Amino acid sequence: MPMQIIHLPKEAMPTGLVSCDFRRPTFRDRREASAKYPGQAANPGYTLEQLFFAYCLEKINDNPLPPNPNDYISRLEGFPLEDAQFAIEVFLEMFTLNQEMASAAKDYGLELKKQLASSYLIPSHKLPGGGPSVAFRAPLLQDSISANRAVPREETSYTAEELLLARCIEEIDGKMIDNKGGIEILDNFWHEDVQFLLGVFYSMFTLDRPKRETARSWAKRLRGESSDSTFAKIPPAGSTKTSATSK
């Protein structure tokens, strides 16, 4: 997708001294920034969110920044503290899912699942960033096991959950894709669109609280703790009866 540049003018900043231009982040930007973050245990003195913003900076006071510096966080060294905090707040508010959008993703996923289809389509207009439409299949347990095995423990740039989503995508913008199972399939999506897709995907295919309560209810019934007479107790040892319900 073409790069989108956002200009935050001086008059918006608390001090009025600094303007900045930053690009709309893709999933690749998030991955690459995360890979460069040494982790809190290393006490780097800055957060992943600050590094993510610095990674996407293009200009300060209309001066282009050099590409691929050795230390991205150094781009922020000349910022007044409150201006840096303000700009990062704007950046995160624009390009990360807030609670309202996260709830919308969950609700949309639950509605989409009612289709009981072999493949599920999320059209472009449903995505917060308006990125390409996506069709994906339901994951199998083996898909989850494989994704967890494929992500090394030391990997910090993406998660097994993100890899599982990537491996289940079958179409992008209506075109069948040759999905080899790599995380790179998400790289050109807007960061907030991937977050929304994850919210939809996992609301559809993982247990939420009501489903867990239903599982607990079934466990009680199978133990014979339910007053519902249509459910039989667990048969005694040696019994050949395995049915959960009475006939």
Give per-residue pLDDT as tens, 58-89: 999 999 998 877 889 999 988 999 999 999 99
Per-residue pLDDT, 246: 45
Per-residue pLDDT, 227: 60
What gap in Å lies between CA 178 and CA 233, rounded to an integer? 49
Q: What is the mean pLDDT of residues 195-208?
A: 92
Which two three-digit tokens encode residue 234?
Answer: 């667990």
Residue spans per domain, the chain: 5-95, 99-205, 218-247
